[in-house]
Amino acid sequence: MIFQSRATPVGLCTALISSKWVRVGHSGVAQRHMSRRVSSPTAGPMGDHAGGASVSGPRGAHSPSGSVSLGVGVAGMGALAFGYHLGVINGPLEAIASDLGFGGNATLQGLVVSSLLAFAAVGSLGGSGLADRLGRRRAFLLDAAPLIIGPLISSLATSPAFMIAGRAITGAGIGLSSALVPVYISEVAPPSQRGALGTLNQVLICAGILAALVLNVLVPTRNWRALFWVGALPAVLLGAGMLFLAPETPSWLGLSGQHALADETAHRLWGPGGEALLEADMAGHAKSDGGPKDRAQWGEVVANRGALTGAALFFLQQFSGINAIVYFSSSVFEVGPGDAVQGSSWVQTRAPW
């Protein structure tokens, strides 16, 4: 849960808050769910909901159902958008600067790039609280708005301020998604599959960066506005999927006091043994976190060796040169022979990060 994003300020923020938030959030679920054991609804409704899951028999509770795969896939659009917006600015940055009248102005070019990251860091800090108050699905629906509006503003930009505003709004959206995606995947996945499915967050971030680089090669830089239109598509899929297809997580339903619905959802997602898996999962969290007195405080998190190691890794990544390659390699290759965008894409797709 700590390593949620690539080498950005967002990753550092989430590294420091994730261990504290996950313990507090799940302990609340565990205490409320275990304090009141609610039996499942009648066999009819349960059978209807379970029919949508591609599981049967004892092993079904340990295999991802179709509903789980669908939920993970929809949430993954947030991670894909994260990566895409990190890499999309690389190729057309010089063309954008030329068209919007700030060609050669390194300060404004830097602001176009860094505004995304600055607001992403802010957005990542609010993601967990938003998900607790609204629920995971509704938080994603809210997150889809800046991920659609921001790229569209950038695509219509006629001035540096317009472009920076669009990038800042987009940054707030990817910051929220950096906190929401791994939480949703971990809660909707069966306990035995959380590690494997949790890695998809990183995979999709990298896939988004790669997709942006490929489009940088295929789309002429003079058509840079089209790249931002494409960037809105994952957010459209995220919003529509969360509105019509993806389930709420059993953990949040338990946290919000909807215990019967939590059991029903666990059954639908994880199969006939879903309620038992949810109860065992919540019992494990309750055992590891006995109550408010045992919850981690910020001082404990900062003093924790694991948290410090994770934060140190993010700091060290900032000095590895990865950010210069992700955001400015096309500009760097302008001073050398060959095509700048193709050269930078070749380096990024073959670099060992």
- Identify the domain containing residue 59 by its residue range: 9-350
Mean per-residue pLDDT, 333-341: 56
Q: How many domains does the chain have?
A: 1
Whether the pLDDT of residue 55 is over 50: the answer is: no
Q: What is the 3-state secondary structure (H, E, C) of 120-158?
A: HHHHHHHHHHHHHHHCHHHHHHHHHHHHHHHHHHHHCCC
pTM score of the predicted model: 0.74
pLDDT band at residue 319 under the 50/70/90 scheme: confident
Mean per-residue pLDDT, 196-217: 93
pLDDT band at residue 311 under the 50/70/90 scheme: confident
Express each pLDDT in 98-119 by its tens digit. 999 999 898 999 999 999 999 9
On average, the pLDDT of the chain sits at 78
Mean per-residue pLDDT, 31-36: 48
Mean per-residue pLDDT, 53-64: 40
Residue 287 is predicted with a pLDDT of 59
| CATH at 297 | 1.20.1250.20
Express each pLDDT in 152-203 by its tens digit. 999 999 999 999 999 999 999 999 999 999 999 999 998 888 888 999 999 9
Which of 36-40, 286-290, 326-330 shows the lowest per-residue confidence on average (mean pLDDT)?
36-40
Cβ neighbours, 10 Å, residue 305: 7
Whether the pLDDT of residue 335 is over 90: the answer is: no
Which of 116-130, 165-179, 317-331 shows the lowest per-residue confidence on average (mean pLDDT)?
317-331
Domain contains 2: no
pLDDT band at residue 302 under the 50/70/90 scheme: confident
DSSP characters over 169-204? HHHHHHHHHHHHHHHHHHHHS-GGGHHHHHTHHHHH
Express each pLDDT in 218-240 by its tens digit. 999 999 999 999 999 999 999 99
Whether the pLDDT of residue 10 is over 80: the answer is: no
Burial of residue 226 (number of CB atoms within 10 Å: 0-12, 13-18, 19+)? middle
Whether the pLDDT of residue 350 is over 60: the answer is: no
Express each pLDDT in 239-286 by its tens digit. 999 999 999 999 889 888 888 998 999 889 988 887 887 877 766 665
Domain contains 266: yes
pLDDT band at residue 294 under the 50/70/90 scheme: low
Domain contains 4: no
Domain contains 3: no
Integer angstrom CA distances of residue 324 from 7, 121, 214, 316: 11, 18, 18, 14
Residue 282 is predicted with a pLDDT of 67
Domain contains 1: no
Q: What percent of the chain has pLDDT over 90?
A: 47
Residue 339 is predicted with a pLDDT of 54
